[in-house]
Amino acid sequence: MIPFGLLFTHRMARSLLRAKPSVDQRVDAFYTGSIAKNIISTAQTNGGIITLDDLKKYKVIIRKPVQIKYRNYTITSCPAPSSGIIALSALGILENFDISNSSSINTTTHLLDEAIKFAYGQRMSIGDPAFVKNVTDLQTFYLQKSTSKELADRISLSTTFPSYYYNPENYTAQRESGTSHLVTADASGLVVSLTSTVNYYFGSQLMTEDGIILNDEMDDFSTPGTSNGFGYIATPANYIAPYKRPLSSISPTIVEDNEGNFHFATGAAGGSRIITATLQSLWHVLDQGMDVQSAINAPRLHDQIVPLTTTFEYTYDNATTAYMAALGHNVTWVAPGQSVVQGVTRDRNGVFAAASDGRKLDSGSTIY
């Protein structure tokens, strides 16, 4: 008899039963036990070079989050080698403008895209702080009000610019899909915004006999002269090195009001589009006053400098995209679903609202 409220699936149960001999070993089961051995065997059988010693030496690193004051809010996200820093940098630039008026959506969309391009230009200089010098100082610099103001002053309301204007290193390209995000919060103020990923669809498309899907996170590193599966160009700060962590787009974010109370938590899946999707959900909720479901449902744009295209979902307003094209943006179109956002809000009366992105099948939200 299965108790009420307990979800049971045969496939997951079989995976757990296969792993059962190692359960008592707890963490060691994954890093040195039978689960680890099956991971290594699966990888090496298919040409991988990972060893048991690699897993044994792996250490979890807890890093200090990055944080900004944005209007009347305190916003916290994850530092390098993740990309919360980039989403916050774009917000810092946008704080220098009034982006709350829906009647000026054409200008606001242009400002949004320009801020995104400057922020993605900054991303090209960051990497694993354990391997790249001065990354911590660089993040502090990016989030300074003076830096944001300087970049905001470089934005023209009448035109856009070539890629090198936003990309100081002038990197060029020769030319995340297996990601999920969840947000949860409770009445005590405990909030979790979590992104998990195996990178591309089903990672490396290999599964151990324990039912563990192996990721292909090596694609998140840079390889000289190439771009990765999400179109990111190669940057030296993200070149491969032993025990180095690759640069990631994940940007889980939590917002507090001016009294320190939880207000909004969000994050996204979608490879290189994670940053822009997260940023736009923040913009819609914090500046435009949208409810969380409307904010997530709203059509999105994406721009990462290289390639120099501004991509809009098909549902974006045609008048706005025509305006953007007239300013010199290289407008292209994609079907909705390239990024998927989740979010939870709490108003000043303590009322929660949860929303999930309908762009992804079986995505859902609940309050209880």
Annotated binding site for L-glutamate: 197-199, 220, 248-249, 271
Contacts of 213 (CB under 8 A, 6+ apart): 178, 198, 202, 203, 206, 207
Burial readout 285-294 (b: 16 or more C-beta within 10 A, e: otherwise) = bbbbebebbe
Q: Which amino acid is at 215?
A: N
β-pairing verdict for 331-334 and 310-313 = parallel
Place of tokens 């305006």: 323
Three-state SS string over 260-281 comes to CCEEEEEEEECHHHHHHHHHHH
Q: Give the residue carrying structure tokens 């990631």.
A: 248
Q: Which residues are annotated as a binding site?
A: 197-199, 220, 248-249, 271
Question: How many Å apart are CA 10 and CA 167, to the nearest integer?
Answer: 50
User: Angle 84-94/105-123 helices, nearest 10 degrees?
Assistant: 140
Structure tokens at 48: 């991988």
Helix (H), strand (E) at residue 322: helix 318-326
Q: Which two tokens stand for residue 15?
A: 């995976």
Q: Give the integer Cα–Cα distance in Å for 257 and 259.
A: 5
Are 208 and 214 in contact by the 8 Å Cβ rule? The answer is: yes
- Residue 271 phi/psi, 5° resolution? 60, -130
Q: Is 207 helix (H, G, I), strand (E, B) or coil?
A: strand
- Pairwise CA distance, residues 220 & 33, whole Å: 27
Angstrom CA distances, 157 to 100, 138, 154, 310, stand at: 16, 28, 10, 16
Helix (H) / strand (E) containing 195: strand 191-197
DSSP state at residue 256: E
Q: Which residues are catalytic?
A: 179
Whether the CB-CB separation of 234 and 227 falls below 8 Å is answered with yes
